Amino acid sequence: MRSLILCALLLPAAAFGQSKEYLYVGNTLGGDVSVIEIPTHKVVGTIPVSVVGNSPDDIISTRNGDVLYISRLDTKDVIAISTTTEKLLWRTEVAGTPNHLALSPDERFLYVPLYDKGKLAVIDTKTHAVVKQLDVGAGAHGTILGPSGKYVYVGMMEANQVAVIDVATNTVKKIIHMPEGVRPFQLSPDEKLLYAQLSKLHGFAVLDLGRDSVIKTVNLPIVGKPPEPSLKLSHWVVNHGLGITNDGKYLVANGSLSDFTAIYSLPALKLVATIPVGKTPNWVVFSKDGKYAYVSNRGENTLSVISIQDRKEVTRLKVGEFPQRMTVAMAHRPN
């Protein structure tokens, strides 16, 4: 019996049960993170202000779901939180206003665009130090690791361009000029196309990465009154939130000023559904199995759960104040 107890003490916490799938929703004005169980779609917890705080902007997870990385606007830093304990692991100041985050393929480097500095900070996740800062352009906002794992793409809201970063050397490979400020964007599975929401466009542009030029503009449908962009809160913005399903068959785009989410087929970009959601939808992520899309509605503090197969909102959940970015992770939460 004693040996069994000793073995149990030496085992990691994860050995006592399987991890579960959770959606972590960052609430920017509330300063906390709502935790939602998948697929029951119940709010099962909150990572509190005492751990998060300071206007969380983006939230992403490691691929095995053990750590959450959160950029914070007020304190201009990035924090790492354990999903097992839901406690702070470390924090790193980045000397600028951090926006959306991305990880290198080996998760050694965390890429942090600094909106007010026009730079991309590179954090070593082992030493927690900023090891490099790259000049990428004014209004550095979004980051995505390409499907090949060779490049990180950075979109600029003010410089109207996309920077392509070589992951092997952490250097700027090239700059691609765009018609307007770049908001959320996605890459095709073969990394030949980039789909980008632009500041004043009610729709999205399709960029050919072989030619570095826009080859198509897709206009979202008009639902109700035509959207009128506003300078309030975050400069010109019509739509915010773009995602591609895990199987690469659908692109999901928010019509943020019109309170709907549209689903397009890929690669044809045929509109297959327009789904009413909550007020001012902001971000799109998907369950691991690709059955559900999750849309944060920052204008009413809710989350819309959309069935991709049924092409409809199946439930709407109350979350924290001003929910924006989200991430899905397989995690062991504290009891």
pLDDT of residue 228: 72
pLDDT of residue 5: 32
pLDDT of residue 236: 60
Q: What is the DSSP letter of 93?
A: E
Element housing 255 (H / E): strand 250-255
Q: Copy the structure tokens of residue 163.
A: 């920077």
Please measure the distance between the N-terminal and C-terminal CA atoms of the chain and give it in whole angstroms: 25
pLDDT (tens, 9 = 90+) of the chain, 335 residues, equals: 333 333 433 445 444 457 999 999 999 999 999 999 999 999 999 999 999 999 999 999 999 999 999 999 999 999 999 999 999 999 999 999 999 999 999 999 999 999 999 999 999 999 999 999 999 999 999 999 999 999 999 999 999 999 999 999 999 999 999 999 999 999 999 999 999 999 989 999 999 999 999 999 999 998 877 777 665 555 567 899 999 999 999 999 999 999 999 999 999 999 999 999 999 999 999 999 999 999 999 999 999 999 999 999 999 999 999 999 999 999 999 87
Distance, CA of 134 to CA of 114 (rounded, Å): 10
> What pTM was computed for the model?
0.93
Alpha-carbon separation of residue 28 from 73, 119, 220, 299 (angstroms): 9, 22, 27, 12
Distance, CA of 218 to CA of 241 (rounded, Å): 15
Closest to 199 in 3D by CA, of 244, 154, 230: 230
Four-residue CA torsion sign, 327, 134, 173, 206: positive
pLDDT of residue 6: 36
Residue by residue, DSSP assigns 189-234 as TTSSEEEEEETT-SEEEEEETTTTEEEEEEEPPP-SSPP----TTT
pLDDT of residue 230: 63
Structural domains of the chain in order of their starting residue, each with its CATH number: 17-331 (2.130.10.10)
Residue with token string 């095995």: 64
Are 160 and 144 a contacting pair, CB within 8 Å?
no
pLDDT of residue 335: 73
pLDDT of residue 4: 34
Distance, CA of 335 to CA of 318 (rounded, Å): 22
**How far out from the chain centre does Cα 26 lie?**
10
Are 175 and 163 a contacting pair, CB within 8 Å?
yes
